[in-house]
């Protein structure tokens, strides 16, 4: 990443995307991801979902810098503070 210069950028962009674990009607009967998932809302798709939310941090030149996975109810702004450069 140092070769590409992505770690020296002062400005980065972050975007979140839904990762649905199961349909909302089946959420109470699931047997996996007990404490890790939550209900969330994707505004671009105008859809409520149950699962995770991925957060991708990229440099201004378009190089992926970091990726984080949070419960669906975590805001992108909160996830931005926890992103670490890999």
Task: Tell me, yes or no, whether 1 lies in a domain.
Answer: no
DSSP the chain: -TTTTGGG-S-EEEEEEEEEEE-GGGGGG--S-TTT-EEEEETTTTEEEEEEEEEEEEETTS-EEEEEEEETTS-HHHHHHH----
| Residue 53, domain extent | 6-82
Confidence (pTM) = 0.73
59 vs 5: CA distance, rounded Å: 9
For tokens 């990762």, what's the residue? 19
Q: Tell me the per-residue pLDDT of 63-86, one tens digit each, with 9 for 90 and over.
A: 888 888 899 888 877 877 765 544
Number of domains making up the chain? 1
Task: Tell me, yes or no, whether 55 lies in a domain.
Answer: yes
Residue 16 or residue 12, greater confidence? 16
């Amino acid at each position: 990443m140092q070769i590409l210069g992505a770690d020296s950028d002062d400005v980065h962009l972050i975007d979140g995307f839904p990762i649905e674990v199961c349909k909302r009607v089946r959420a109470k009967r699931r047997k996996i991801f007990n404490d890790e998932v939550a209900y969330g809302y994707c505004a671009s798709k105008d859809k409520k979902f149950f699962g995770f939310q991925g957060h991708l941090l990229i440099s201004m030149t378009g190089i992926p810098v970091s990726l984080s996975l949070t419960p669906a109810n975590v805001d992108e702004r909160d996830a931005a503070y926890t992103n670490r450069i890999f």
